[in-house]
Amino acid sequence: MKKDALAFRQEFWDQGEMDINGSCEWKQYEDYRKWLEHLQLVSQGRQEGQLPSSAYFAFHEPNHQIVGIVDIRHYLTSEYDHNGHIEYSVRPSERGKGYATEILRLALDKARGLGILDVRVTCGKNNLAARKVIRRNGLVRKKEIQEAGGNAIWLYGE
C-alpha cells in the first residue's frame, strides 16, 4: 500500500497540513519503510518516549483509496492523559462524508477489544466537527484541559 499511503500523506501536505493526527509522527519519516519500522516498535512498546499503540489505515474499497488513519494507545499515563487513547484523521478530500464517525466507531471497538474500559478521546474546544463525531459515538465530555499554548481541549469518555 506504499503508493496509496504516500498519496494519502501528500494530500494533507498539499493542503498545508503537515501534522496528520493518528499517523504516529509520520511527518518525521521521509522513508516509508522507516515509518513502518517505527510503527512496529511503537506497537511493541519499544519506542522510547511513546506509549504502545496500534495504527490503522481506513480504506474505502469501492474507491480503492485510503480515506483515513487512526492510532490507538493501548493505555494512558498521567503524562499522556490529555491526549486520549484515540487520534485519527480523514483525508482532506473525503471530509464531511461520515468517514470520521465510522473510523472512531471502529477504533472504539478495537480499543474495547484491547481491554480499555474507559476510552478517552480529545478534541479542540472549537473543533465543532470533531465534537459532533465524538458525540455521535456516544462519548460525553468529561473535562476541559488548558494546554501550555493557551489552547483548550475537551476530554471525552464513556
Tens of pLDDT, residue by residue over 66-78, are 999 999 999 998 8
Which tens digits make up the pLDDT trace of 37-91? 999 999 998 888 889 999 999 999 888 899 999 999 999 988 877 788 999 999 9
Q: Domain limits at 64?
A: 2-117
Burial class of residue 121 (count of CB atoms within 10 Å of its CB; 0-12, 13-18, 19+): buried
pTM of the model: 0.91
- Closest to 111 in 3D by CA, of 78, 76, 145, 135: 76
Q: Is residue 56 part of a domain?
A: yes
Q: Is residue 146 part of a domain?
A: no
How many domains, the chain? 1
The confidence score (pLDDT) of residue 32 equals 96
The grid cell for 131 is 465534537
Residue 31 has pLDDT above 80, yes or no: yes
Q: Is residue 151 part of a domain?
A: no
Q: Is residue 141 part of a domain?
A: no
- Closest to 1 in 3D by CA, of 90, 69, 96: 69
Q: 81: domain CATH number?
A: 3.40.630
Residue 152 has pLDDT above 90, yes or no: no
